[in-house]
Chain A
Amino acid sequence: GNSVTQMEGPVTLSEEAFLTINCTYTATGYPSLFWYVQYPGEGLQLLLKATKADDKGSNKGFEATYRKETTSFHLEKGSVQVSDSAVYFCALKKRQTGANNLFFGTGTRLTVIP
């Protein structure tokens, strides 16, 4: 089946610290991979994505590389800010489906303190 396992939180970091949130997946075929973010009081929104092996998605200083050999899509940021405090969700989509049904992880809450 299809599933996503991501690092359990919560994660608390000081401003300017390095962030890694681990995500691994199980899927048949070659899925597309995503990170969504939910800021306080807002709906989930797409942060970045990668559609094939070795692709790197990036946005707002965040990066994630699609690693087929380790079935991983870890989220990284070199220097976090207080405004990055949010819940981060890793997700996958089966490539062959015509719809946008996504399989999500449980979410990781990040708190950045000044």
Chain B
Amino acid sequence: GAGVSQSPSNKVTEKGKDVELRCDPISGHTALYWYRQSLGQGLEFLIYFQGNSAPDKSGLPSDRFSAERTGGSVSTLTIQRTQQEDSAVYLCASSAPTGANTGELFFGEGSRLTVL
């Protein structure tokens, strides 16, 4: 697609349920990033993929959070046993090989998660 696509755009779930958030990066972008934006907070880095491997997953807040990327393209962020503090907008970004190390990320519109 023309841009980074995320789904669902909105998700309301009950505490304790699992959720999956999907990111489809720009075609050809080898690097993929997940960020979280909570109310009143800056964007919090979660995990970074280069191809299908994750050299940096230091931002995942707990072992309830996991992410995978397949085929060097689509990524899924999974949150197990959701808690109310997981409510946030989850942003995905990708960057081109030629843009590596330049700081230019292309963001999706985000998935807004609300845990009741």
Contacts and interface: CB of A to CB of B under 8 A. Distances in A.
A11 interface: no
Contact of A101 (B40, B42, B45, B107): B45
Contact of B103 (A41, A43, A46): A46
Interface residues of A, number: 26
Interface string B60-85: 00000000000000000000000000
A38 B77 CA distance: 22
A12 to B, nearest CB: 19
B41 A106 contact: yes
A98 B108 CA distance: 22
Interface in A67-102: 89, 91, 93, 97-102
A45 interface: yes
A36 B31 CA distance: 18
Interface in B1-42: 3-4, 31, 33, 35, 40-42
Nearest to B50: A99
Nearest to B102: A100
Interface string A22-57: 000000000010101010011111100100000000
Given A43-B109, A99-B31, A104 B103 contact: no
Chain B contact patch, size range: 20 to 34
Contacts of A101: 33, 45, 48, 56
Given A99-B55, A100-B31, A100-B101, A43 B106 contact: yes
Given A89-B42, A100-B102, A103-B45, A44 B107 contact: yes
- Among all A-B residue pairs, the 8 with the closest Cβ atoms: A43-B107, A104-B43, A44-B107, A104-B42, A106-B42, A93-B103, A43-B109, A46-B104
Interface of A: 4, 32, 34, 36, 38, 41-46, 49, 89, 91, 93, 97-107
Given A99-B56, A101-B48, A105-B42, 5 more contacts: A4-B42, A32-B103, A38-B107, A42-B109, A99-B101
